[in-house]
Each structure stands twice: as C-alpha cells, then as structure tokens.
C-alpha cells in the first residue's frame, strides 16, 4: 500500500442530509493564518456535504453576516479555545485563530455525525498534545507498522502534498505538536540542526503552522561532539553551553515556528549527562536555557533504566528506574522543561500499573507518554483500540496530596508515539486510525469517553449506518480486553518475541538482558515487588502502596506484576491461577474470531476495498491469537503439569 497515494481517512467528506442554510456562505473576520485554513476547510466540507459551493467573504466585505452564514471571528485575546453558537440562521465560531480552526472542525464533525447541539464553548484540556514519530532519516521507522516515513527519504527531508494532508488530519482532532524524528538520534539525524536541513524544516514548519501545529525535533545530547567538534558534551562546560546557545540562535532564526526538542538521554545507549557525572536536571536545564529566548521547550524523557541486567540479579527492578532517577529531582527543572513519562513503569505492555512517578512530581511539569504504534499490542495487524486504556490512565488517582490528584490533573499534556507511515491509509490497519483520531480527541478533551470517540470516528470514516456504528464500535471497545486475554496473563507482560515484539515467546525475555523477567518456574510465577521483594510498591503514595502490596487488595489484572504466586493460588472467581490462564487464552482467541463475525456482517455496508483490507488483517489476528493461545497454554501446562480442567486441546 505504499506510494504517493494516501487516503483522506476520517476527513473524506460525503453528501450529508440536514446541513443548515448557513452552509451557503462563510464570512471571516480576522487575518490569522489558521482562520484562513478554517475557512478553506469549511468550504471544502460544505461543498462535499451539500453539493453547492459556498460564497466566502473576508475582512470588510461582510455582506453575508446578516443572512444565514457561518461567521468566523478571530479574537485577539483568544487562544486554542472556541465558542460556537447558532442564532437566527447565523453560525458564529469565534476564538483565537487556532481556536477558530478547532471550532470549524468541531462544526464539520457535528454535521457529519448528526449532532445538532451547536451551542458549545470548548478549550483544550491541556496545552501540549503531541505526536512523537520514531522516523529515521533513511526513511525507515523504528517500531513503524504502516510503511516508510513520509518525513524522510534517503537522508533528505521530504516536504510535499502529504505534509499538508498529515497536518490537516492532526489539526482535525486537536493535536498541536509533532516531533518528526526518532528519539534515538544517530548518524545523519544529528545534523538535522545544521544548515543542511534547516531550510526544508522551515518549509515543513510553516505548513504545520497553518494547521496550528508546532514542529519539534529530537536532539542528540552529544551534538557538541558529533557535529560541533568539541571534545565534550558536559552540560556544565562553558564551551558546551556557549555552543548550544549559538546553535539554538541559528536554528530558531532559520525555523522560527519550531516548538522545541524531545531528548532521550542516558537511555538504551543514548548519550546523556551521566557520562559527565551530571544529573538529568543539569542536562535538561542547560538546553532549556539555550532555547528559552525563542519560547522553545525541552521535553526530557524519563525512560531511563539499566538495560544490561543479569537475570541472577534479583535486586535491580527495571520498574523502579524512572521514579528512582527522577523523583528526587522534583523542583529542579527549568520551567520550559517537561518530563515525558511513559504511562507505565516498563514499556507499553498491554497491561501495566500507572507509573508512580506521576504521583511524585509536585513542582515539575510533565507529560504523559503513550504509544499508539501498538509495538506490544499487535503492531497494527491486530485491532487494539487503546483509548479505553488511556482513559483509565488519565483518571488514575496518584494520591499526591492535592485535591485533584488524577494523572489528568498532574500533566501538562500528552504525547503519543505515532502509528502513521506512508501506507495509503496512513496506519496500516484501517481500524488503527481510530487510535490516531482517538488520541487527538482525548488529548484535546480529557473528559470524552472512549465509546463516544469511537462513535465519532466510525461515523466520520464509514458514515452513520446503524449497523456499521454498532458493529465497529463493539469491535473496537472489546479489542483491548481480547488482546490482553490471548497474550500475557495478569499483568506479567513480556511474553512476546524479543526484538520484534510480535507473536509469543514465553521465555524469550527470560534469557535476555533487558530486565523484563517473569521468573516462571514449575511452582510459581511473577515478581515480588512488595517491600519483601524489590520494594517497587513503596514508590506509590499511600494508600496505593499498601493496596498493591497486599495480594488480596491488588487489582487482579495486575496480580503477577506485583506478586509471585503459586499456580494453585485461588483468584476471586474461585479459579486457580493456572485455570484462569487457560480460560483467558481460550476466551481471548474466541473473541478474535468474534471480531471477524462482526466485520463480515458489514459486507456491502463499507467500501469493498476497505472491507477486504480489514478482513485480511482480522484473519491474521485470529491466526496469531490462536498461536498465542496454544504457545502460552502449552508452556504453562508443561511447566506446571497441571491439566486444563475442561480438557481442551493443549499441545
């Protein structure tokens, strides 16, 4: 599916009944660049929905404003929020220039979804709503599952029609930032901040900005060495500090719309301040000082852990690493630094507890990092709608002592590792676009429900047919639970193939160095993370620490993450742990089969090409789910020699 062709995804506007008379003309008051984009977008939408071309008027020429029209008003003091009101046939959308753009997309969405409640005022829940792309300059994408990069090819920056189509998709769901290169910055990528690339990056950033999106780059902390010719990258070295200041002056003068930088330092082999005996705060603050004059941000990732663990070392616990490294630094970061924290303490497993670090930063800005790239959740070959999981994370109470203490209250925004590539449908699996859309909508409005977001996305993508909405929504809403059932049980994680992270390999990571052990033997499984074990539970504020440390109160879906238990342990259902494992795997594979049944009911109701593309992936998902079921169940049977009570086929 690769090539220059690309779909319009959920923005392929179609003929729509009941679009009001206001769609006949568009009147603009204001000169902001995003306001102009809003007017153009509305015009295209109205044309497609009504078959008529609306008249558009600008500035002084406001003849239309006293008869049915859409009136777009830019308010000088407005930011990204908007107000929408329908009165006497005039639909007024007002706000800052970006706000009007969001309002225009909201209006289009309402019309397409048949929502006639036009009076609303909305502002984004959080200021930062970003995608992080892990695209390499040679065009490959680390953990990319939807084709090659559309930002880079052959060590060049690509700016073409697709750049704008991409920005339009992002803006339509409320995303306002995109870091386009891999956080593992190596080779040519280190030179993105040199004159070799800045011209093209400026072009890209201007296109993004028309859609209210800031361009961000990932940075090589060792750039003073790799491109600067200095002998050190020590953040306290005066020559290094001066080099960064000069460099940022050059970069921001060439790309004034740049939002800032994402930094992966001292993590998985990337350089960082540790090499010089300096702290993360010293490293981040040095960069923050250099970008401050230009309003730039430094987004410093907290994915820092020892990735060379010996399996015999039972004291080191990777889950502890982020909190151990960053909690003591609370309050020591500059105010243009955001700490970007992965949702869980490990790495985007289908089930993990929420990172305790969210409960420890009272005086530091932070972002929640999630991954829609589905690295560990089926790689866009399986349906796995992640928005219900993100909702759970946002509403997780940290007990940090504030009145409003949920993750959503603590963060300054969200970043998602992107699932896009140059496949025609952008996301490999057509249904994976629901995660892209859903991430944006949820980041813009944390209060939306996963179900409502799914409903919107389906209506925008496939139309409002009742069965289409019902079946696809059911498929999406059940998909995460199904994936969890047929893969690794009770929060244990890491039973996938090392390296690729696709398909089962129950002991693959047991014999690797990444600190991701489940330690199953013939008697018991799980990691004791209570105070008697690694002590990880103590990183949570009370009462969470006690809740997790007690196997009776620990949520069952996380039981083996926190506890080491015998296979005969009885769960609340009365089942033994081993029987639960067998049952869950059979059930999960059954649910993968159910996805196919639901989709097949839609033959003839969705466009045939899309129907077949999805069907092909669902068949692969079923095959893979059955493989997971059989490999995991057989593994535990052979390990424990306890048979399945129901006598089903185990290998």
Q: How far apart are CA 348 and CA 586, in angstroms?
A: 24
* Phi-psi category of residue 401: left, alpha or beta, with phi > 0 → left and psi -120 to 50 → alpha: left
Min dist CB 422 to ligand GCV, Å, is 19
Query: Catalytic residue among 347, 484, 538, 626, which?
Result: 347
Closer residue to ligand GCV, CB minimum distance, 261 or 303? 303
Query: Six-digit token pair at 629?
Result: 């079921």
Binding map of ligand GCV across residues 399-438, x = CB under 6 A, - = no contact? ----------------------------------------
Q: Which residue has the tokens 């506007």?
A: 13
Stretch of 176-184, 316-324, 520-528, 596-604 contacting ligand GCV, by CB under 6 A: 176-184
Please tell me whether residue 318 binds ligand GCV under the rule CB under 6 A. Answer: no
Q: Which stretch binds ligand GCV (CB under 6 A): 25-33, 177-185, 456-464, 504-512?
A: 177-185
Nearer to ligand GCV, 220 or 538 (CB): 220
Q: What stretches of 105-168 adopt beta strand conformation (E)?
A: 120-122, 128-135, 152-153, 156-157
Region for 3 from its dihedrals, namely left if φ exceeds 0, alpha if ψ lies in -120 to 50, beta otherwise: left
Is residue 142 near ligand GCV by the rule CB under 6 A? yes
Whole-angstrom distance, CA of residue 546 vs CA of residue 352? 17
Catalytic site includes residue 347: yes
Residue 347 in the binding site for ligand GCV (CB under 6 A): yes
Contact between 441 and ligand GCV (CB under 6 A)? no
Cα(636)–Cα(579) distance, integer angstroms? 10
Measured CA to CA, the distance from residue 162 to residue 155 in angstroms comes to: 18
Strand partners for 128? 413
Length of the chain as a residue count: 651
By the 8 A CB rule, do 439 and 454 touch? Answer: no
Span interacting with ligand GCV, options 34-42, 179-187, 308-316, 503-511, rule CB under 6 A:
179-187
Nearest residue (CB) to ligand GCV, 143 versus 280: 143
**Comparison of 16 and 379: residue with beta carbon closer to ligand GCV:** 379
Q: How far is the CB of 373 from ligand GCV (least distance, A)?
A: 9
Q: Exactly one of 40, 140, 155, 184 binds ligand GCV (CB under 6 A); which one?
A: 184
- List, as one string, the DSSP characters of 263-307: E--SSTT---GGGGT--HHHHHHHHHHHHGGGT-EEEEE------
Is residue 43 at the binding interface for ligand GCV, with CB under 6 A as the rule? no
134 binds ligand GCV (CB under 6 A): yes
**3-state SS, one letter per residue, for 457-512:** HHHHHHCCCHHHHHHHHHHHHHHHHHHHHHCCCCCCCCCECCCCCCCECCCCHHHC
- Please calculate the CA angle 544-550-556 and round it to the nearest 5 degrees: 85
> Taking CB under 6 A as the rule, does residue 300 contact ligand GCV?
no
* Residue closer to ligand GCV, measured from CB, 183 or 560: 183
Tell me phi and psi for residue 87, to 5 degrees.
Answer: -145, 130
- Tell which one of 29, 264, 580, 585 touches ligand GCV (CB under 6 A): 264
> In the complex, what is the shortest distance from the CB of residue 340 to ligand GCV, in angstroms, rounded to a whole number?
10
529 contributes a contact to ligand GCV by CB under 6 A: no
Q: Which stretch binds ligand GCV (CB under 6 A): 95-103, 180-188, 349-357, 437-445?
A: 180-188
Residue with Cβ nearer ligand GCV (183 or 559): 183
Q: Does 135 bind ligand GCV (CB under 6 A)?
A: no
Sheet bearing 90-95, strands edge to edge: 55-58, 25-29, 69-74, 90-95, 82-87, 120-122
Rg (CA), the chain: 25
303 lines the binding site for ligand GCV (CB under 6 A): yes
Rounded Cα–Cα distance for residues 618 and 621 (Å): 5
- Kindly report the backbone phi and psi dihedral angles of residue 524, in degrees, each rounded to the nearest multiple of 5, phi listed first: -150, 165
Of 142 and 627, which has the nearer Cβ to ligand GCV? 142
Active site residue 268: yes
Write the secondary structure of 197-257 as one string of H (helix), E (strand) and C (coil). HHHHHHHHHHHHHHCCCEEEEEECCCHHHHCCCCCCCCCCCHHHHHHHHHHHHHHHHHCCC
Site for ligand GCV (CB under 6 A): which residue of 23, 49, 175, 183? 183
Q: How far apart are CA 609 and CA 556, in angstroms?
A: 41
- Smallest separation, CB 535 to ligand GCV (Å): 24
Among 143, 214, 391, 529, binds ligand GCV (CB under 6 A): 143
CA distance 553 to 537: 13
Smaller CB separation from ligand GCV, 182 or 435: 182
Q: Is 578 in the site for ligand GCV (CB under 6 A)?
A: no
CB of 514 to ligand GCV, least distance (A): 8
Catalytic residue among 2, 268, 616, 645: 268
Q: How far is CA 72 from CA 38, 124, 255, in A?
A: 8, 19, 29
- Rounded CA gap, 549 and 544, in Å? 8
Instruction: Considering only the stretches 99-107, 181-189, 575-583, 589-597, report the one whose residues sit in contact with ligand GCV under the rule CB under 6 A.
Output: 181-189
User: At its nearest, how many Å lie between ligand GCV and the CB of residue 22?
Assistant: 46
Residue 140 lies near ligand GCV (rule: CB under 6 A)? no
What is the DSSP code (8-state) at residue 430? G
CA pair distance 614, 299, nearest whole angstrom: 36
Which position among 220, 234, 317, 375 bears the catalytic label? 375
To the query of whether residue 41 is one of the catalytic residues in this protein, the response is no
Site string (370-389) toward ligand GCV, x via CB under 6 A: -----x--------------
Task: Provide the minimum distance between the beta carbon of 501 and ligand GCV in the complex, in angstroms, as a whole number.
Answer: 7
- Closer to ligand GCV by Cβ: residue 53 or 500: 500
Total chain residues near ligand GCV (CB under 6 A): 11
Task: Give the nearer residue to ligand GCV in terms of CB position, either 372 or 454.
Answer: 372
Verify binding: residue 367, ligand GCV, rule CB under 6 A: no
- 42: which 2 tokens? 């509305």
Q: What is the closest distance, in whole angstroms, from the C-beta atom of residue 315 to ligand GCV in the complex?
A: 22
Residue 80 · residue 102 · CB < 8 Å: yes
User: How far apart (Å, rounded) are the C-alpha atoms in residues 148 and 426?
Assistant: 10
Q: How far is the CB of 303 from ligand GCV (least distance, A)?
A: 5
Closest CB to ligand GCV among 80 and 317? 317
Contacts with ligand GCV by CB under 6 A lie at: 134, 142-143, 182-184, 264, 268, 303, 347, 375
Known catalytic residues are 268, 347, 375
């Amino acid at each position: 599916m690769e090539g220059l062709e690309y779909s319009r995804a959920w923005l392929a506007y179609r003929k729509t009944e009941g679009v009001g008379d206001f769609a006949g003309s568009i009147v603009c008051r204001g000169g902001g660049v995003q306001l102009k984009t809003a007017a153009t977008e509305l015009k295209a939408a109205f044309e497609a929905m009504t078959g008529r071309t609306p008249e558009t008027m600008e500035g002084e020429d406001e003849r239309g404003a006293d008869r049915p029209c859409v009136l777009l008003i830019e308010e000088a003091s407005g930011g990204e929020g908007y107000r929408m009101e329908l009165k006497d046939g005039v639909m007024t959308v007002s706000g800052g220039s970006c706000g009007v753009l969001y309002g225009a997309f909201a209006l289009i969405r309402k019309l397409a979804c048949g929502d006639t409640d036009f009076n609303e005022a909305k502002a984004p829940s959080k200021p930062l709503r970003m995608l992080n792309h892990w695209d390499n300059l040679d065009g490959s994408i680390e953990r990319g599952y939807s084709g090659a990069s559309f930002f880079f090819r052959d060590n060049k920056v690509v700016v073409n029609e697709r750049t704008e189509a991409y920005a339009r998709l992002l803006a339509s769901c409320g995303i306002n930032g995109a870091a386009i290169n891999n956080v593992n910055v190596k080779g040519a990528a280190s030179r993105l901040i040199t004159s070799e690339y800045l011209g093209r990056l400026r072009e890209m950033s201007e296109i993004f900005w028309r859609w209210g999106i800031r361009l961000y780059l990932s940075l090589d902390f060792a750039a003073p060495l790799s491109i600067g010719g200095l002998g050190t990258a020590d953040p306290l070295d005066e020559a290094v500090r001066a080099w960064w200041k000069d460099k940022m002056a050059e970069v921001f003068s060439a790309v004034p719309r740049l939002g800032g930088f994402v930094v992966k330092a001292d993590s998985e082999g990337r350089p960082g301040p540790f090499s010089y005996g300096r702290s993360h705060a010293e490293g981040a603050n040095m960069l923050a000082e250099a970008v401050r004059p230009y309003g730039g941000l430094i987004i410093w990732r907290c994915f820092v852990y020892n990735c060379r663990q010996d399996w015999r070392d039972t004291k080191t616990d990777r889950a502890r690493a982020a909190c151990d490294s960053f909690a003591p630094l609370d309050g020591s970061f500059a105010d243009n630094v955001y700490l970007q924290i992965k949702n869980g303490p490990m790495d985007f497993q289908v089930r993990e507890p929420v990172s305790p670090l969210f409960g420890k930063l009272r005086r530091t800005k932070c972002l929640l990092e999630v991954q829609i790239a589905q690295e560990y959740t089926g790689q866009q070959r399986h349906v796995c709608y992640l928005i219900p999981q993100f909702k759970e994370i946002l509403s997780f109470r940290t007990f940090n002592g504030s009145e409003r203490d949920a993750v959503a209250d603590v963060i300054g925004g969200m970043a998602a590792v992107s699932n896009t590539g140059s496949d025609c449908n952008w996301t490999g699996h057509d249904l994976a676009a629901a995660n892209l859309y859903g991430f944006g909508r949820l980041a813009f409005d944390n209060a939306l429900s996963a179900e409502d977001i799914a409903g919107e996305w389906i209506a925008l993508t496939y139309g409002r047919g009742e069965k289409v909405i019902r079946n696809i929504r059911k498929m999406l809403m059940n998909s995460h639970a199904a994936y969890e059932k047929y893969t690794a049980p009770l929060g244990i994680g890491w039973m996938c193939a090392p390296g690729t992270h696709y398909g089962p390999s129950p002991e693959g990571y047991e014999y690797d160095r990444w600190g991701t052990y489940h330690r199953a033997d013939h008697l018991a499984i799980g990691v004791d993370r209570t105070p008697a074990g690694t002590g990880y539970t103590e990183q949570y504020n009370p009462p969470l620490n006690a809740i997790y440390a007690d196997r009776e109160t620990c949520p069952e879906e996380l039981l083996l993450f926190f506890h080491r238990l015998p296979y005969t342990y009885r769960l609340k259902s009365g089942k033994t742990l081993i029987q639960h494992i067998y049952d869950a795997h059979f059930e999960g594979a059954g649910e993968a089969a159910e996805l196919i049944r639901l989709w097949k009911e839609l033959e003839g109701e969705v466009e045939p090409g899309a129907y077949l593309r999805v069907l092909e992936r669902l068949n692969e998902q079923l095959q893979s789910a059955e493989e997971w079921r059989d490999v995991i169940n057989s593994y535990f049977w052979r390990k424990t020699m306890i048979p399945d009570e129901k006598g089903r086929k185990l290998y």
